């Protein structure tokens, strides 16, 4: 009731203003656009800049995939290790029933849109016959050394309509010259070139940050900017993840993104490298991976102190098993469908892409236990979202002025915006009425991120028949926000944006009812 009263008091109609600065989304920028904050910018100008930063076309397409997979596979699969030491015998690699089509088919059927393969993990063993080392599949028993896992998986991905990406570990525990920085950096770039030229389109490269001491006792200095250059030259549309400027690590390996997850972040580029004129190369040259594990990454307090801002969306990586590689002893520890659905709600449903690791077994197949969990997870998600209880055409607005069109469930509506006296931005209220009392327990919200990420706080009320009651609330929305609530019954529902960086652009508002059935 409290919110409603204050909302009425704040009800001052204000036109939806399209702010002056807007960034291009179309592919002119293979890299995210870096927006500079000027010393003379006022707080509201800074917030307006943040509100108008948008993903590149590649980032946007990537966010729409929502659910992608890691497949950790290599010598560790056969030795039972997680981090091989780099001197394991390559002959041990022998996945006798290897079938990349089985991987792609299973993962495709699970609703997954891309496979990122560990082409080389920290042990240095290459899943393709590299010309730059002999520590590869060419020295394994598998297919008498004639096999190429990278080729087989990339082909299978194309066959099943999946995108393909590679994990290439900068840390290499095998090569004797690791630690001899210039030499090793050239070796790394050469391997990158092989992966980026021989296997068709690569949608994501995944660089891990681990950096151990070399066998020569030397500390390797990675030349990140030169690695990015190779990627940009050879595959300009490819996204560089984690130790790279296009996609950010969410900060944990639990499968849970933050309650408040911003895609616009301050200062991912060192200020030393940012001079007066801004061009997108500075993003690659000056990108400095730092601590993205903090709770608050993109709140107003952070934005207001920023020197530059950039779209840097989160990817939530987690394994379906306790380890990243397959170990038979973990067959009974595969995450249950319920756990996976929970992870989905807390990753995809918290403005991030879910990168779920499903490690193939020693035979070279995805293990049955993992398949069962994945299929049930997918079935449950489909059941939950099968019917939006909100008819897409029937929104109405209690506040009466219709100005700029608003996109809700992909239908253009005319909305109203209400200015908040606390200068937190604009409020938007959307109302919907059912013909009869309706029960729901799941809510979906999406912002139109092609206009930026703006919503900072929202809540949802339902009409009991005699009064409005709050049933859900949250902070950021971004690409997608999912909320599970207790069964709630009402005749009307309304969404109120309590705080936003400029006018909120709602793309979807879904309300669902899911009855859990066993089996």
C-beta closer to ligand FUL: residue 214 or 266: 214
- Could you tell me how many residues of this chain bind ligand FUL (CB under 6 A)? 5
Question: For the packed helices 100-109 and 149-159, what is the interaxial angle rounded to 10 degrees?
Answer: 40
Footprint (CB under 6 A) of ligand FUL, residues 116-135: none
- Contacts for 265 with CB less than 8 Å, ≥ 6 apart: 248, 297, 298, 302, 309, 310, 312
Q: Which of 61, 180, 186, 208 binds ligand FUL (CB under 6 A)?
A: 208
Q: Which of 7, 67, 93, 324 binds ligand FUL (CB under 6 A)?
A: 324
C-beta closer to ligand FUL: residue 8 or 210: 210
Neighbours of 348 (CB within 10 A): 22
Footprint (CB under 6 A) of ligand FUL, residues 39-98: 82
Q: Does 8 bind ligand FUL (CB under 6 A)?
A: no
For residues 56 and 69, give the distance between their C-alpha atoms in angstroms, rounded to a whole number. Answer: 22
C-beta closer to ligand FUL: residue 74 or 349: 74
Q: How far, CA to CA in Å, does 291 sit from each of 169, 243, 267?
A: 19, 11, 11
x/- letters, 278..317, toward ligand FUL (CB under 6 A):
---------------------------------------x
List the one residue out of 105, 101, 132 whose CA is nearest residue 119.
132
The nearest distance, CB 359 to ligand FUL, in angstroms, is: 10
For residues 292 and 277, give the distance between their C-alpha atoms in angstroms, rounded to a whole number. Answer: 27
Q: Which of 21, 210, 225, 333 binds ligand FUL (CB under 6 A)?
A: 210
The nearest distance, CB 420 to ligand FUL, in angstroms, is: 42
The nearest distance, CB 207 to ligand FUL, in angstroms, is: 10
The nearest distance, CB 82 to ligand FUL, in angstroms, is: 6
The nearest distance, CB 317 to ligand FUL, in angstroms, is: 5
The nearest distance, CB 324 to ligand FUL, in angstroms, is: 4
C-beta closer to ligand FUL: residue 55 or 360: 360
CA atoms within 13 A on the CB side of 335: 24
For residues 314 and 316, give the distance between their C-alpha atoms in angstroms, rounded to a whole number. Answer: 6
The nearest distance, CB 29 to ligand FUL, in angstroms, is: 28
C-beta closer to ligand FUL: residue 82 or 339: 82
The nearest distance, CB 28 to ligand FUL, in angstroms, is: 32
The radius of gyration computed from the CA coordinates of the chain, to the nearest angstrom, equals 24
Longest Cα–Cα distance of the chain, Å, equals 77
Q: How far, CA to CA in Å, does 157 sit from each of 58, 104, 114, 119?
A: 19, 6, 8, 15
List the one residue out of 239, 125, 128, 235 whose CA is nearest residue 171.
125
C-beta closer to ligand FUL: residue 186 or 208: 208
Phi, psi of 394, rounded to the nearest 5 degrees: -105, 45
Is-contact 488 3, C-beta < 8 A? no
x/- letters, 400..439, toward ligand FUL (CB under 6 A):
----------------------------------------
End-to-end alpha carbon distance in the chain:
41
The nearest distance, CB 242 to ligand FUL, in angstroms, is: 8
List the one residue out of 349, 375, 389 whose CA is nearest residue 478.
349
- Contacts for 57 with CB less than 8 Å, ≥ 6 apart: 25, 26, 27
Residue whose C-beta lies closest to ligand FUL: 324
Residues contributing to the site for ligand FUL (CB under 6 A) = 82, 208, 210, 317, 324
């Amino acid at each position: 009731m409290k919110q409603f009263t204050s909302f009425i008091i704040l009800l001052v109609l204000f036109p939806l203003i399209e702010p002056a600065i807007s960034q291009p989304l179309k592919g002119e920028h293979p890299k995210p656009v870096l927006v500079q904050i000027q010393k003379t910018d006022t707080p509201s100008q800074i917030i307006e800049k943040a509100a108008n930063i948008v993903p590149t076309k590649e980032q946007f397409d990537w966010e729409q995939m929502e659910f992608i997979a890691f497949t950790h596979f290599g010598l560790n699969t056969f030795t039972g290790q997680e981090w091989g030491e780099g001197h394991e015998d390559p002959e041990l690699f022998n996945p006798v029933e290897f079938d990349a089509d089985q991987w792609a088919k299973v993962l495709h059927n699970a609703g997954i849109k891309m496979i990122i393969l560990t082409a080389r993990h920290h042990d240095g063993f290459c899943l393709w016959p590299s010309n730059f080392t002999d520590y590869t599949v060419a020295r394994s028993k598998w297919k008498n050394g004639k096999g190429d896992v990278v080729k087989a998986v990339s082909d299978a991905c194309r066959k099943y309509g999946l995108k393909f990406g590679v994990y290439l570990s900068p840390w290499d525990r095998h090569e004797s010259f690791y630690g001899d920085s210039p030499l090793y950096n050239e070796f790394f770039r050469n391997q990158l070139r092989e992966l980026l030229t021989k296997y068709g389109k690569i949608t994501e490269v995944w660089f891990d940050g681990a950096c151990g001491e070399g066998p020569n006792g030397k500390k390797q200095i990675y030349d990140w900017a030169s690695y990015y250059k190779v990627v940009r030259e050879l595959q300009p549309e490819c996204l560089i993840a984690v130790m790279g400027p296009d996609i950010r690590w969410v900060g944990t390996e639990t499968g849970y993104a933050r309650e408040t997850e911003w895609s616009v972040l301050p200062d991912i580029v060192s200020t030393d490298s940012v001079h007066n004129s801004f061009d997108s190369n500075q993003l690659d040259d000056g990108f400095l991976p730092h601590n993205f594990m903090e709770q608050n990454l993109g709140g107003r307090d952070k934005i207001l102190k920023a020197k530059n801002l950039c779209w840097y969306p989160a990817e939530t990586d987690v394994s379906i098993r306790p380890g990243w590689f397959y170990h038979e002893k973990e067959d009974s520890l595969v995450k249950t469908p319920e756990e996976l659905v929970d992870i989905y709600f807390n990753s995809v449903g918290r403005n991030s892409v879910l990168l779920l690791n499903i490690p193939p077994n020693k035979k070279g197949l995805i293990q049955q236990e993992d398949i069962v969990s994945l299929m049930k997870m997918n079935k449950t998600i489909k059941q939950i979202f099968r019917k939006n209880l909100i008819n897409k055409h029937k929104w109405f607005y209690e506040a009466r002025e219709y100005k700029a069109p608003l996109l809700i469930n992909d239908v253009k509506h005319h909305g109203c915006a209400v200015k908040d006296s606390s200068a937190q931005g604009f409020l938007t209220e959307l109302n919907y009425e059912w013909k009869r009392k309706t029960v729901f327990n799941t809510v979906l919200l999406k912002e139109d991120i092609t206009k930026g990420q703006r919503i900072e706080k929202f809540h949802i009320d339902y009409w009991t028949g005699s009064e409005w009651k709050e049933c859900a609330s949250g902070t950021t929305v971004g690409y997608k926000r999912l909320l599970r609530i207790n069964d709630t019954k009402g005749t009307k529902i309304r969404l109120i944006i309590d705080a936003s960086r400029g006018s909120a652009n709602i793309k979807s508002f879904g309300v669902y009812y899911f009855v859990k059935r066993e089996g």
